[in-house]
Amino acid sequence: MKIDKIALRKNQESFSFIIVIFLLLGGYLFFFTSTLWMPPSADASYLTKVGTEVAWDDRTVIINRWDYSEKQNEMEVEITVNNKSYDGNNKYSFSAVELRGTMLKTEVKVSDEDWIVVKIKELPNRWSDISLRMDVNGKNTSTLKLYTNLNDVTRVKKIDTLDYVGYKKKRFNIEIANYEKQIKDNQAQQKKLSDENKEIAKEIERINNEKTYQTDSQKQESDSKIAEAQNNITSNEKTINELDGDINEIRQRIEMTKKQIQDLNASAK
């Protein structure tokens, strides 16, 4: 009986040792292979934010949207490219990989010189991070790696399959929605500044009323405060007027974008 207990203890120790070795090997394997997937500095800043310019090979790349449909296990990524090198290489190929190394299927839905829509298909049921890779066709250059994760991606109920005109109209409608949001943000800022000016005017009135019972020295201090307050009002009014100009410009852009949609509809008939 005593021998059986000793043998059992040895077996347990051996099993524990095997588990430790397995975990160590797994950790080393992940450590040495993770750089193949992740960028060199893999903190929260590695995520590619929508609307942010990424510099790459004399180009700037902007992700306009990165949508994810859990029901379809698909993603759709819309990208704008500005080729500043004017080298004539405006065709790109794409691949995608999940954090654990699973290669994912990609399909280019739209490919203009400066605008691309890529679909990522057959995502695993459980995933946390996705890397979309972009290469210039016919040119030996570094691969651009774009990243999103489960929290950063935009969730949608369904990703529709559209034709070229459909994707164009979707792009323009998103631009209009973004423009309208900018107008609302500017108007909210204007209201904040206008409300602030009203409060400053009340404070100026209060200081002026107190001057009746102040000495000359106190009146000088009050006048300095009033002058500073009036400067703040002037600065706020200048900003409000500048925002008016921005709003007018954005409204013109909305009208021009709507005209592009009308022209698209006319050409599709």
pLDDT digits (tens, 9 = 90+) for 44-86: 467 999 999 999 999 999 999 999 999 999 999 999 999 999 8
Q: Which residues are CB-neighbours of 102 under 8 A, at least 6 positions away?
A: 124
- Across 178-189, average pLDDT: 97
Distance CA 196, CA 29 (A): 59
The reported pLDDT for the residue numbered 29 is 47
Residue 140 — very low, low, confident or very high, per pLDDT cuts 50/70/90?
A: confident
Q: What is the mean pLDDT of the chain?
A: 87
Closest CA relative to residue 64, chosen from 112, 97, 105, 96:
112
| Predicted model pTM | 0.74
Q: Is 243:190 a contact under the CB 8 Å cutoff?
A: yes
Element spanning 95, H or E: strand 92-98
- Per-residue pLDDT tens digits for 13-32: 555 555 545 555 544 444 44
Q: What gap in Å lies between CA 226 and CA 231, rounded to an integer?
A: 9
Using one digit for the tens of pLDDT, what is the confidence trace for 87-108?
889 999 999 999 888 899 999 9
Q: Are strands 59-69 and 92-98 parallel, antiparallel or unpaired?
A: unpaired
Does residue 179 carry a pLDDT above 60?
Answer: yes
Summarize the confidence of residues 252-264 as an average pLDDT: 96
